[in-house]
């Protein structure tokens, strides 16, 4: 079978390494529990600066969430009760009326994979760890961080189409549209600074001096465009992300909510190179069904409407973090 269509970030800088079949554990989420114009890492406390994001995992997140402890009383829609982390990405949108309006693309599944990586994990995810992968202000292929290995593919398609001018598949995918994104796997336990591994660092664990190796988080998200675009497309795909009309602004965010016991157990599950291993912990076993009902922890603030979020962003002034163009956001 031919390799799926790949719309990806540039190759990592040399020296590089292959991402072979590695040990992993996996957490699946069936759908986002919330879509909202907040970003507690990049724009903490703000309701008029962030584009729309889709949130997966712990529902205790608000625009001001900063600590792992703030997620402890959450209800999660992840399939592991020990994972109270919050994961989010810019909302993936489609138009069925020629760009007059945009709606969130139906999701097939969100998966968070935790891999061994290129060298063994030495430490678990620290409490209060926050990470961002990708570049939200990206507008061209060169803007995508090579280490994040961002890809947009027609999952498993034998004869995949080439990318359109925005990096999306230029013709109908027979299967799901899948996107992949890799996070840093080195951490300074004192400062919570993170970095990607590279042999060029000259250390045994391939991390910058003073950093330890931790499991590597990878997002794998599958969307089902067939549900809303039954006639498919040919040419420029009728898609956009809330961050821009292309794949180059792809990014993901993470605040660690794993219980300390489960986070420690995860290090052991990634010690084998080729097998899946479940992560259990104080709150139960991987796969235990949740009985709680998720809710928005701050329903009185923010919006889940794409058009409204664009209007709010038009009033902002946040050039300091790179958001200096309003032309990328359309209603």
**What tens digit of pLDDT does each residue of 7-34 get?**
555 544 333 333 333 457 899 999 999 9
**Distance of alpha carbon 205 from alpha carbon 61, whole angstroms:** 33
Lowest mean pLDDT, pick from 160-174, 176-190, 233-247, 307-321: 307-321
Q: Are 328 and 140 in contact (CB under 8 A)?
A: no
- The 10 Å Cβ neighbour count of residue 63 is 20
Q: What is the pLDDT of residue 15?
A: 32
For residue 182 the two structure tokens come to: 């890799």
What's the whole-number average pLDDT of the chain? 88
Q: What is the pLDDT of residue 25?
A: 87
Q: Are 249 and 135 in contact (CB under 8 A)?
A: yes
């Amino acid at each position: 079978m031919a390799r799926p269509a790949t719309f990806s970030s540039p190759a990592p800088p040399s020296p590089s390494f292959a991402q072979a079949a590695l040990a992993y554990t996996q957490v699946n989420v069936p759908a986002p529990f919330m879509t909202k114009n907040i970003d507690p890492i990049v724009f903490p406390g703000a309701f008029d600066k962030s584009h729309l994001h889709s949130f997966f995992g712990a529902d205790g997140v608000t625009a001001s969430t900063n600590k792992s402890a703030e997620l402890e009383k959450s209800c999660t829609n992840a399939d592991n009760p020990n994972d109270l982390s919050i994961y989010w990405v810019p909302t993936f949108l489609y138009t069925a009326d020629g760009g007059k309006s945009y709606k969130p693309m139906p999701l097939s599944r969100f998966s968070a994979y935790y891999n061994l990586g290129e060298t063994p994990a030495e430490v678990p995810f620290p409490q209060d760890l926050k990470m961002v992968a990708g570049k939200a202000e990206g507008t061209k292929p060169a803007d995508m961080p090579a280490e994040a290995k961002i890809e947009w593919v027609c999952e498993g398609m034998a004869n995949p189409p080439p990318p359109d001018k925005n990096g999306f598949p230029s013709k109908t995918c027979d299967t799901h549209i899948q996107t992949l994104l890799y996070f840093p796997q080195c951490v300074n336990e004192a400062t919570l600074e993170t970095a990607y591994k590279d042999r060029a660092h000259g250390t045994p664990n391939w991390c910058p001096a003073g950093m330890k190796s931790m499991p590597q988080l990878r997002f794998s998200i599958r969307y089902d465009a067939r549900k809303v675009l039954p006639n498919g497309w040919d040419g420029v795909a009728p898609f956009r992300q809330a961050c821009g009309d292309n794949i180059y602004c792809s990014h993901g965010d993470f605040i660690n909510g794993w219980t300390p016991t489960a986070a420690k157990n995860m290090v052991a599950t990634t010690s084998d190179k080729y097998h899946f291993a479940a992560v259990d912990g104080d709150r139960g076993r991987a796969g235990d069904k949740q009985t709680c009902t998720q809710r928005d922890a701050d329903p009185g603030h923010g919006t889940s409407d794409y058009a409204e979020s664009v209007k709010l962003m038009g009033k902002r002034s946040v050039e300091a973090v790179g958001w200096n163009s309003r032309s990328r956001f359309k209603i």
